[in-house]
Amino acid sequence: MRDKNMDEQKKEFDWFDRPSSRRLLWRLLWGACALSVVAEFFVHRHPHFGIDGIFGFYALLGFIGCSAMILFAKMLGKWVKRGEDYYGDNIEDDVIPEDIDDGNHD
């Protein structure tokens, strides 16, 4: 696909690669987080266990829980991660699996 002419390459949709778009997405994300917490002021909640009645409980759960899971996975990774050829089977097969597009059919 590298033989496209320059005009077409310029037209390519690359919105997500632009730094300005990334900044905007970051703002939207922070905004959505803030909005979800602020919305709780206007909601009557029905906690089942007590602890889930704390203000912003689900935000905390999401934040702390996910951070903990990522950190734990990172530690686990130190223990279980291996090179791709650990089992000695990281082979490029001679057989081209027929379900990879060879450009002959659409």
Partner 1 sequence: MTELPPSLLLFAGALITMLLRGRARNIFLVALPVYAFWHISQLSFGEGPKLDFLPTFDALEPLRVDKLSKAFGYIFTLNAAVAFLFAFYVKKAFQHVWALIYIGAALGVIFSGDLITLYVYWEVMAISSAFVIIARNTLRAKQAAFRYVMVHIFGGLLLLAGIVMTVSSSGSIAFDAFDYADANLGTWLILSGFLVNAAAPLFSAWLSDAYPEASVTGGLILSAYTTKTAVYTLLRGFPGWEPLMVIGCVMAVFGIMYALLENDMRRILAYSIINQVGFMVCAAGIGTKMAIAGAVAHAFCHIIYKSLLWMSAGAVLYRTGKSRCTELGGLYKTMPWTLLFGGIGALAISAVPLTSGFTSKTIIIAATEYKELFWVWLILELASAGVFLHAGIKFPYFVFFNKDRGMRPKEAPKTMLWAMGILSFLCIYLGVRPQALYDILPYPVDYQAYTVSHLVTQMQLLMFSALVFFLFLPMLKRTATISLDTDWFYRKGGQAFYRVMDKSLNGINTAVADLIAVRYTAWLGRFFRTAPAEILGGLLVPYWMVLGLGSYAIAERKEKLILRAKRGAFPIGITACLAVMMLAIIYLVALA
Q: Can you give the binding site for partner 1, defined by CB under 8 A?
A: 1-2, 4, 12-14, 16-17, 26, 29-30, 32-33, 36-37, 39-40, 43-46, 48-49, 56-63, 65-67, 69-74, 76-77, 80-84, 86-87, 89, 91, 93, 95, 97-101, 105-106
Least distance to partner 1 from the beta carbon of 55, Å? 11
2-to-6, 55, 84 alpha-carbon distances in Å: 10, 54, 30
Contacts of 52 (CB under 8 A, 6+ apart): 58
The answer to whether the beta carbons of residues 47 and 53 sit under 8 Å apart is yes
DSSP category for residue 95: S
Least distance to partner 1 from the beta carbon of 5, Å? 13
Nearer of residues 24 and 45 to partner 1, judged by Cβ: 45
Least distance to partner 1 from the beta carbon of 20, Å? 16
User: What does the block give as tokens for 90?
Assistant: 């990281």
